[in-house]
Amino acid sequence: MSESTSSVWGSLFRAREPWFEEVTQLWAKTPFFTDIPLREIRKLARSMHPRHFNAGDYIFKYGDQGAGAAMIQSGHVEIRFEDTTLATLQRGDFFGEIALVLDERRTADAIATEPCDLIFFLRPDLEEWIARSPQQGARLSNNLAHVLAKRLLHANHMLAEERKRHVG
């Protein structure tokens, strides 16, 4: 059997790992899931929502209603406010987490800068998981509070530095 024939047959019959296994591993590396067992992350990952975006596509725009967070499975995303790039994100990075806590509008644009695959973690899926696993849900809520607090501290530091540049 030639190499090309065996690779065709081999890939046909070899069990492929579901996308959520890769997503489980990526989420497990984030601070969201610190001290949460992999089996619990896997349960939640099964309910997440994969989406593909092309370069230049808006994932969401400033003022859109937020529904949840997204993690980058592949590609790059820029977070922008008006003409300022706030962050350039890549595989394993997440954004939009405020929408997991508050029913608020988006505070920036998120734009795919190249083809990318994202996994959306929506607030209703989180709420359902917390109802089924309250202890793990409490842990994730605490982790989420730490993430938001660190991002707030970082933003405050950046504002203070900007003020120093303009005053001094």
Buried b (16+ CB within 10 A) or exposed e, 25-45: ebbbebebbeebeeebbbbbb
Does residue 8 lie in a domain region? no
Q: What is the pLDDT of residues 83-101, one digit of tens each?
A: 999 999 999 999 999 999 9
User: What domain count does the chain have?
Assistant: 1
Does residue 130 lie in a domain region? yes
Range of the structural domain that residue 87 is part of: 18-167
pLDDT in tens, the chain (168 residues): 444 444 555 444 544 456 788 999 999 999 999 999 999 999 899 889 999 999 999 999 999 999 999 999 999 999 999 999 999 999 999 999 999 999 999 999 999 999 999 999 999 999 999 999 999 999 999 999 999 999 889 888 888 888 888 886
Does residue 148 lie in a domain region? yes
Interhelix angle 38-45/123-132, rounded to 10 degrees, is 140
Does residue 147 lie in a domain region? yes
Residue 12 buriedness (CB in 10 A; 0-12 / 13-18 / 19+): exposed
Q: Contact 122/68 with Cβ under 8 angstroms?
A: yes
Question: Kind of pairing, strands 116-122 and 49-53?
Answer: antiparallel
Give the pLDDT of residue 17: 55
- CATH value at residue 52: 2.60.120.10
Does residue 13 lie in a domain region? no
d(CA 49, CA 64): 18
d(CA 161, CA 56): 31
Does residue 41 lie in a domain region? yes
Helices (H), the chain: 3-13, 19-28, 38-45, 123-132, 134-167
Give the pLDDT of residue 164: 87
Does residue 9 lie in a domain region? no
Rg of the Cα atoms in the chain:
19
Q: How many residues does the chain have?
A: 168
Does residue 60 lie in a domain region? yes
Residue 70 buriedness (CB in 10 A; 0-12 / 13-18 / 19+): buried
